[in-house]
């Protein structure tokens, strides 16, 4: 595999991981998501299908997008993966570090504490459901 294809694969893997994290965050914030969702498309899906439906559509869309980008990595149009990767990285920063007072960085919080919290709450949510 060439270095360019390996880089594309790594970017697509990161895009998928950030999208999966966003889905997990949606499950964890299930109770308040209906009123807190800032994305108008997600809000429409919540209004028509509920939070469960929105998470299902988000997961399906992520799967389709990742598969398409993996295929795109073998064409000359693989450069289109780069802006998607950059937007997903910005989304990850916004999801984890945005507050009403701006972005939180530089020792104010542990950078991975929010990620760890979401993952713990995700497993707790499903463990409590059993």
pLDDT, tens digit, 9 for 90 and up, residues 57-66: 989 999 999 9
Give pLDDT tens digits for 79-121: 999 999 999 988 888 777 766 666 665 555 565 676 777 677 6
Check residue 108 and give its pLDDT.
55
- Model confidence over 28-55: pLDDT tens digits? 777 777 777 777 888 888 889 888 888 8
Q: Are 89 and 10 in contact (CB under 8 A)?
A: no
DSSP state of 76: G
Please name the residue ranges forming H helices in the chain.
Answer: 3-28, 30-36, 40-72, 81-97, 113-129
- 18-31: average pLDDT: 81
**Environment class of 81 (CB within 10 Å of its CB; exposed 0-12, middle 13-18, buried 19+):** buried
- Its pTM stands at 0.73
Dig out the tokens for 104 from the structure. 């939180």
* Straight-line distance from the first to the last Cα atom of the chain, in angstroms, rounded to the nearest whole number: 43
Per the model's pLDDT, the better-predicted residue between 14 and 129 turns out to be: 14
């Amino acid at each position: 595999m060439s270095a360019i294809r390996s880089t594309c694969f790594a970017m697509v893997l990161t895009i998928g991981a950030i999208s999966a994290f966003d889905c997990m965050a949606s499950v964890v914030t299930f109770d308040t998501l209906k009123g807190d969702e800032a994305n108008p498309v997600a809000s429409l899906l919540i209004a028509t299908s509920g939070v469960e439906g929105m998470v299902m559509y988000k997961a399906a869309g992520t799967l389709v997008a990742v598969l398409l980008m993996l295929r795109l990595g073998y064409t000359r149009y693989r450069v289109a993966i780069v802006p998607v990767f950059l937007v997903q990285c910005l989304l990850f920063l916004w999801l984890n570090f945005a507050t009403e007072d701006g972005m939180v960085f530089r020792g104010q919080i542990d950078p991975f504490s929010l990620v760890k919290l979401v993952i713990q709450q995700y497993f707790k949510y499903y463990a409590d459901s059993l």
